[in-house]
Amino acid sequence: MRYKTTVVILLLLSIIASPAAWSQEAPIAGGEQETPSVLGDLSLSPVVENQIAFIEELDLGTALDRALRFHPSLAAYAWQVRAREAAALQAGLLPNPEFSVEAENVFGTGDLSGTGAAETTAVLSQLIELGGKRAKRREVAALEAELADWDFRSRRLEVLTGVGQSFIAVLAAQQRLEQAEELSSLAENFFITVSERVEAGKVSPVERSRAQVTLSGARIVLAQTRNQLTAARHRLAAAWGSSEPSFGKAVGSLGELQPIPPEEELKKLLSESPEMARWGSEIAQRKAAVDLARAQRIPDLTASLGTRNLRETDDNAAVLGISIPLPIFDRNQGGIKEARAELSSALHQRYAIRSEVLAALAENYRALSSAYVEARSLEEQVLPAARQAFDAARIGYEAGKFGFLEVLDAQRTLFEVTQQYTDALTAYHQAHLEVARLVGASLEEGVINAQEIK
């Protein structure tokens, strides 16, 4: 019988030491299966820049899709979600049983020399968690995974909002370039007209010098505008990790504006935004942590069962044991206080974040409203009048009714009003996207559809 016990012990030790036994994933207790991540299978392979094909015309949807697939920080946040899901899986596992072997009366003197008089005891122990610790620990870990998912959604919304704003910047830069080219063309045509009048002796050569200065200034503005467009294109391409723009032209229109919803209606949507919605999970996680800390006051029980071989009689006997710590000094007092403090902190943080989001919403809503009114006024009243005044001054100058300064002033006014109109449209769409991000919902569908950045 002594030899049978030894064989059993050696067999158990060989199983425990086997690499295959440690490499296999254990099933979740209770027959539960691991829930697949909503993120799907993620690859650790780095993004290769030449994977992004060149496209002649880039629309907003394509730009957003590229950012979703290749933005580095989104991949990092996605892996954090997977890590928290794995932690939740680990938190729900039962503690492993413990196997121990004890040999007495060995390697002594006299009759106890060697192992001939050995009495062997094999014991299998299991930690039994009391107070529902495992369930509470799993709940805390599951809520942490939920928080990681909210953080991923928030970061995703930030990235897509940034891409939308970069796309707007490219559209605006393209429109400014067209305006600068038009200004340069007008200045060049006006210089030719002035030169012809100088050659005909109708005006002083000084006016040709002034026209030359105006033409040079228009060309400088044209060069600066081209550089600004190049910079805007690079910023947009950086959203999907490209060092060079992999597109020819951004396609879209800034001129289509939609009425703005009332501010009070937008405030009602704040709870839907990831930035605010995450705090529901945050508070729940802190409360679950308090429950877990309270449960940890209860000591855990360790039960053991084994067999002992008695050398003198060669008999075997069962060995039963139970142990439990005595909660005299450590009753997790500090852990409970810490968890309660973290809960109180989260409650105050939620209030502070809501106040900050409300302030940001109010600020961006004012900017959105102001840009909308300005753009409408410039489009319907100021811009047509400025263009009409310039056309009249140019025609009048060719007919000898107006002087050079009148034409120059009308041209400068037209260019400034055109630039102001583009700036107002840009400010409108930028604020539109920021408001959509804050409330986590779309506004009325416009040129840049906020629904696309949800």
Span 379-405, pLDDT tens digits = 889 989 988 888 888 788 777 777 777
| 3-state class percentages of the chain: helix first, strand second, coil last, to nearest 5 | 65, 10, 25
Number of H helices, E strands in the chain: 11, 6
Whole-angstrom CA distances from 234 to 50, 73, 167, 237, 439 are: 16, 18, 11, 5, 29
List the domain boundaries for the chain: 94-128+299-331, 157-297+333-453
Confidence of residue 87 (pLDDT cuts 50, 70, 90): very high
Task: Determine what percent of the chain is predicted with pLDDT higher than 70.
Answer: 83
Which residues lie below 8 Å from residue 81, measured CB to CB, with a gap of 6+?
A: 37, 39, 145, 148, 149, 152
Residue 98: both structure tokens together: 């413990």
Predicted confidence at residue 192, as pLDDT, reads 84
Rounded to 5°, the CA angle 164-167-171 comes to 135
Predicted confidence at residue 148, as pLDDT, reads 92
Name the average pLDDT for the chain: 81
pLDDT at 108 over 80: no
Predicted confidence at residue 2, as pLDDT, reads 44
**110-116 contact pairs (CB < 8 A, 24+):** none
Report yes or no: 177 and 223 within 8 Å, Cβ to Cβ.
Answer: no
Q: Please, what CATH class does the domain formed by 157-297+333-453 belong to?
A: mainly alpha
Task: Determine what percent of the chain is predicted with pLDDT higher than 90.
Answer: 40
pLDDT at 18 over 50: no
- Name the 3-class secondary structure at 88: helix
pLDDT at 48 over 90: no
Predicted confidence at residue 107, as pLDDT, reads 63
Rounded to 5°, the CA angle 285-287-293 comes to 100
Q: Report the candidate in 239, 192, 188, 326 with the shortest Cα–Cα distance to residue 52.
A: 239
- Alpha-carbon dihedral of residues 353, 358, 364, 368, nearest 10 degrees? 150
Lowest mean pLDDT among 113-117, 127-131, 230-234: 113-117
